[in-house]
């Protein structure tokens, strides 16, 4: 009813002289104007039972068309009047030579492109509103020109609604039929839940919520082997959603322009990303990601590269039938759970020994947040570590013993070891590096650049002469090179009284190449 009143106010404002006629039609046929949930395209038409249905997206497209008309007047109106007064024809090629004409044309095309993007966007919330076009919610603009566009667009919109109203009332729907329709809508069935796991990759949070609601998704995974799709895409712009889903709590979404909903899918995130992608994400939004606890909820790992030290071997695929059977059984259980309306989740509990050990461990973690402790400066990570250990323990238990029994102390200890390995990775990656660590990484990058350029052997004097300026102190450079040699990244040796650095220490020496460097 609220939507119907809004459209009636539009009619009263645009055609007040026809208010009596519109009143008569309303009393006779009882038309209803209904705001539908968001969907692609332009949706404004007369449905059955005198119901005129439309979407917010459609009215916004008409609004943009109004401002496209304004820009078209800017482009050509004065030219058309001037050429007509001169008796000349409209020559587009000549008009394009006018200074600033191209900029006006581009502005006109930009608004039309915006209409197309709004029309085809996956969700209305994904559309980025043009910065130079006022939004309808702002009301009537103060300047005369934009105010005129506002009035004309309202008139055009009212005309479209009146046209559909005319189509609707010709179907002559009776009051009884409308009541029957309302009664029928009360028994509208809910959407059947999507069975199995819904896989997502490059998706906006608005689109994800719409999908969870529309398909009644019970389980989902956001994954990508090319993490840039997620970390540089729309999914990472509202991390609070994934935080809430991680907690297993229902997420209520209240929208102004479409239906509100509550979603609660069990969610998994699995992202693989190149270091450069992760570095850009951390530099751009890392403070926010840590501040709201997104990183703290995840298991992050960045193993040391083995490039240059890998040996190529034949891959022998050894089947693991027991594991395959376990995964198949879990998937089947997931599907069965979706079929049962009142499905009760299986609860895995801790044994008394495991429960006592978990509380001791949780208190130990809390104490380490204090000054001088292991987690000093990492309170966000520590606050979720005990929860992650409990989750990991249950996962290990289910993988080994199935969905039965209690989590033993041994399984909990395994989970503690595993999660503390990831904890060490978190601390290593997010702790501010010392000066020595920065120097080491700088020299490591420089050596990697030389490898990429095709070098294998370098004279030590050449390294000192051309390495980054901050590393050219002989004492500092010797310490760094010795550390790298101990780590197996380089090998240092003396040939013909000349110190040589081998960038591929695990490869057999290339005598010809080595001697050419020694003699250079």
Cα(200)–Cα(241) distance, integer angstroms? 14
Residues 255 and 375 in one domain: no
358: in domain: yes
Q: Tell me if 13 sits within 8 A of 157, measured CB to CB.
A: no
User: What are the pLDDT digits (tens) for 363-377?
Assistant: 999 999 988 888 988
Report residue 388's pLDDT band, with 50, 70 and 90 as the boundaries: very high
293: in domain: no
Q: Of 281, 313, 340, at which residue does a domain stop?
A: 281
Cα(499)–Cα(61) distance, integer angstroms? 72
Residues 151 and 6 in one domain: yes
Cα angle: 193, vertex 196, 200; to 5 degrees: 95
User: What are the pLDDT digits (tens) for 409-446?
Assistant: 999 999 999 999 999 999 888 877 778 888 998 999 99
For residue 483, give the CATH number of its domain.
1.10.10
Q: How many distinct structural domains can be found in the chain?
A: 4
331: in domain: no
288: in domain: no
Position 492 scores a pLDDT of 92
Q: Tell me if residue 494 falls in helix, strand or coil.
A: strand
Rg (CA), the chain: 34
Report residue 293's pLDDT band, with 50, 70 and 90 as the boundaries: confident
| Beta pairing, strands 44-46 & 51-54 | antiparallel
The stretch 449-476 carries a mean pLDDT of 90
213: in domain: yes
Residues 162 and 80 in one domain: yes
Position 192 scores a pLDDT of 64
Residues 463 and 382 in one domain: no
Cα(409)–Cα(416) distance, integer angstroms? 10
Residues 367 and 253 in one domain: no
Position 170 scores a pLDDT of 57
Report residue 188's pLDDT band, with 50, 70 and 90 as the boundaries: low
Q: Of 172, 203, 238, at which residue does a domain stop?
A: 172
User: What are the pLDDT digits (tens) for 204-255?
Assistant: 777 888 888 777 788 888 888 877 777 777 667 778 788 888 887 788 877 6
324: in domain: no
The residue range of the domain holding 393 is: 349-430
148: in domain: yes
Residues 76 and 52 in one domain: yes
- Which H helix or E strand runs over 154? helix 144-169
Residues 415 and 490 in one domain: no
Q: Tell me if 119 sits within 8 A of 40, measured CB to CB.
A: yes
Closest CA to 271 of 300, 244, 296: 300
Residues 446 and 386 in one domain: no
177: in domain: no
Report residue 178's pLDDT band, with 50, 70 and 90 as the boundaries: low
The stretch 245-270 carries a mean pLDDT of 76
- Which H helix or E strand runs over 476? helix 474-486
Residues 404 and 453 in one domain: no
pTM value?
Answer: 0.50
Q: Which of 4-8, 133-137, 475-479 has the lowest mean pLDDT?
A: 4-8
Residues near 438 by Cβ (< 8 Å), separated by ≥ 6?
none
Cα(424)–Cα(419) distance, integer angstroms? 9
Cα(4)–Cα(53) distance, integer angstroms? 10
Residues 167 and 196 in one domain: no
Residues 156 and 13 in one domain: yes
Position 168 scores a pLDDT of 63
Residues near 72 by Cβ (< 8 Å), separated by ≥ 6?
108
Report residue 1's pLDDT band, with 50, 70 and 90 as the boundaries: very low
Residues 141 and 62 in one domain: yes
């Amino acid at each position: 009813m609220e939507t119907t009143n809004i459209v009636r106010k539009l009619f009263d404002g645009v055609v007040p002289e026809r208010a009596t006629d519109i009143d008569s039609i309303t009393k006779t046929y009882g038309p209803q104007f209904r705001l539908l949930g968001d969907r692609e395209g332009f949706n404004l038409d007369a449905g059955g039972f005198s119901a005129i249905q439309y979407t917010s997206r459609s009215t916004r497209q008409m609004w943009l068309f109004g401002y496209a008309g304004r820009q078209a007047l800017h482009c050509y109106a004065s030219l058309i009047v001037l050429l007509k007064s001169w008796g000349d024809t409209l020559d587009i090629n000549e008009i394009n030579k006018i200074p600033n004409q191209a900029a006006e044309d581009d502005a006109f095309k930009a608004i039309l492109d915006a209409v197309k993007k709004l029309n085809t966007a996956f969700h209305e919330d994904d559309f980025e509103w043009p910065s130079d076009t006022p939004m309808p919610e702002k009301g009537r603009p103060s300047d005369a020109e934009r105010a005129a566009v506002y009035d004309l667009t309202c008139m055009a919109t009212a005309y479209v609604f009146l046209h559909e109203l005319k189509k609707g009332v010709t179907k002559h729907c009776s009051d009884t039929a409308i009541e029957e329709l309302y009664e029928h809508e009360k028994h509208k069935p809910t959407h059947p839940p999507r069975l199995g796991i819904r896989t997502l990759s490059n998706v906006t949070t608005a689109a994800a919520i719409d999908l969870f609601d529309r398909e009644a998704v019970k389980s989902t995974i956001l994954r990508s082997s090319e993490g840039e799709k997620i970390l540089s895409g729309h999914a990472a712009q509202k991390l609070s959603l994934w935080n809430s889903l991680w907690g297993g709590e229902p997420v209520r979404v209240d929208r102004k322009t479409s239906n509100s909903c509550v979603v609660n899918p069990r969610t998994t995130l699995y992202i693989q990303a190149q270091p450069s992608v992760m570095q850009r994400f951390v530099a751009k939004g890392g403070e926010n990601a840590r501040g709201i606890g997104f990183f703290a909820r995840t298991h992050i790992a960045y193993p040391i590269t083995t490039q240059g030290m890998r040996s190529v071997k034949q891959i022998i695929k050894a089947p693991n039938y027991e594991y395959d059977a376990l995964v198949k059984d879990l998937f089947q259980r997931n599907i069965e759970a979706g079929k049962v309306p009142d499905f009760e989740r299986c609860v895995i509990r801790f044994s008394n020994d495991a429960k006592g050990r978990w509380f001791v461990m949780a208190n130990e973690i809390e104490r380490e947040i204090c000054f001088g402790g292991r987690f000093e400066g990492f309170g966000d990570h520590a606050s979720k570590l005990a929860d992650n250990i409990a989750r990991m323990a249950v996962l290990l238990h289910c993988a080994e013993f199935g969905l039965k029994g209690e989590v033993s102390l041994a399984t909990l200890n395994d989970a503690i070891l595993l999660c503390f390995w990831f904890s060490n990775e978190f601390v290593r990656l997010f702790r501010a590096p010392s000066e020595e660590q920065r120097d080491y990484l700088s020299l490591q990058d420089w050596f990697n650049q030389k490898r990429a350029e095709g070098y294998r052997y370098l004279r030590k004097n050449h390294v000192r002469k051309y390495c980054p300026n901050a590393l050219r102190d002989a004492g500092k450079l010797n310490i760094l090179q010795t550390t790298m040699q101990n780590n197996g990244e380089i090998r240092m040796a003396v040939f013909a009284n000349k110190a040589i650095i081998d960038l591929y220490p695990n490869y057999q020496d290339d005598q010809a190449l080595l001697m050419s460097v020694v003699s250079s």
